[in-house]
């Protein structure tokens, strides 16, 4: 799916399928590899984020990939984070493939890297304020330039690149206050997994942002610091392999561990769905 075409087709107010003030039920969820993932396509996800913004209450959502699923198994704190999130999307084809094998098919992959473009497009049309937080030196600033050039009228009200570990409690409090005073409707966080998700969950109320999300390397792609896989590679679900070829030293061990986790979890899930026939069952009645 072309996210830009989807964003364009889903950008008008008439396409959202809800009205101001209308309470929207939570999205349907399916359990895949221990995660409760929203069964939503790309366009519906963009609309759901718009609903969060119209609702106006502090909220964040998560774009979860296979690595995040493995982190959730290892870090008990993330269970509470996931329950606090408005919803989780499947940001990774292994999760979509697993959902289909398990008979709980998700419609498609919904990635943070695609959502940045679509949500900034919608933000430019709706007049939403956007805040970019995190990433490497200069990345968020360059991403802001690119996004505002692509979407004239886009209101980026803040760009900050803090190193959280180096902030004193007072400096961190001032960072939260600056974000709150900027009053963004959309907050894109690039702190990495699971730091970004943990930080959003902990400071959700202090931030007061109605739609926040940790987006991983998305700002690097927007800024041109990293080259994203060509569209045809993304469509066949091999973007992870493209990234491995570009960063084998960094991603090799991680992808191996993620793959072993996938095999183990799929084995457990399939065993639960199709338990083996007891050895004495075939002999009954003979």
Render pLDDT for 200-222 as a digit per residue (tens, 0 to 9).
Answer: 999 999 999 999 999 989 999 99
Q: Specify whether the backbone of 34 is left (phi greater than 0), alpha (psi in -120 to 50) or beta.
A: left
pLDDT at 15 over 60: no
280 within domain boundaries: no
86 within domain boundaries: yes
Q: Over range 71-100, report the average pLDDT.
A: 96
pLDDT at 21 over 60: no
pLDDT, residue 19, reads: 53
Query: What's this model's pTM, rounded to 2 decimal places?
Result: 0.86
Total domains in the chain come to 1
- Burial status of residue 107 (CB atoms within 10 A of its CB: 0-12, 13-18, 19 or more): middle
pLDDT, residue 247, reads: 87
16 within domain boundaries: no
pLDDT-based confidence at 230, cuts 50/70/90? confident
209 within domain boundaries: yes
pLDDT-based confidence at 237, cuts 50/70/90? confident
44 within domain boundaries: yes
Residue 164 domain boundaries: 27-268
13 within domain boundaries: no
Chain centroid to CA 43: 14
Torsions phi, psi for 166 (to 5 deg): -95, -5
Measure Cα distances from 255 to 158, 192, 197 in Å.
Answer: 34, 16, 20
167 within domain boundaries: yes
283 within domain boundaries: no
Tens-digit pLDDT profile for residues 44-71: 999 999 999 999 999 999 999 999 999 9
pLDDT-based confidence at 268, cuts 50/70/90? confident
Chain centroid to CA 70: 15
pLDDT, residue 286, reads: 46
């Amino acid at each position: 799916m072309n996210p830009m075409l989807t964003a364009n087709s889903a950008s008008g107010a008439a396409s959202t399928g809800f009205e101001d003030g209308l309470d929207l039920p939570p999205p349907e969820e399916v359990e895949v590899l221990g995660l409760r993932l929203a069964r939503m396509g790309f366009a519906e996800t963009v609309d759901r984020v718009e609903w969060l913004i119209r609702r106006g209450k502090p909220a964040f959502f998560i774009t979860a990939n296979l690595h995040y699923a493995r982190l959730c198994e290892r870090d008990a704190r993330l269970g509470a984070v996931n329950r606090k999130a408005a919803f989780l999307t499947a940001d990774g084809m292994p999760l979509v493939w697993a959902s289909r094998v398990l008979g709980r098919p998700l419609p498609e992959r919904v990635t943070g890297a695609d959502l940045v473009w679509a949500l900034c497009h919608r933000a430019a049309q709706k007049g939403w304020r956007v805040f970019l937080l995190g990433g490497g030196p200069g990345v968020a600033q360059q991403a802001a330039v690119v996004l505002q050039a692509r979407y004239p009228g886009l209101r980026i009200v803040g760009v900050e690149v803090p190193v959280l570990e180096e902030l004193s409690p007072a400096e961190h409090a001032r960072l939260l206050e600056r974000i709150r005073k900027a009053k963004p409707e959309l907050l894109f966080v690039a702190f990495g997994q699971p730091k970004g998700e943990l930080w959003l969950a902990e400071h959700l109320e202090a931030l007061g942002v109605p739609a926040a999300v940790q987006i991983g390397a998305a700002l690097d792609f927007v800024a041109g610091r990293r080259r994203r896989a060509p569209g045809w590679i993304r469509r066949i679900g091999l973007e992870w392999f493209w990234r491995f070829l570009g960063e084998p030293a960094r991603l090799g061990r991680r992808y191996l561990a993620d793959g072993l986790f996938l095999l183990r979890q799929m084995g457990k899930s399939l065993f639960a769905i199709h338990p083996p026939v007891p050895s004495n069952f075939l002999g009954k009645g003979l």
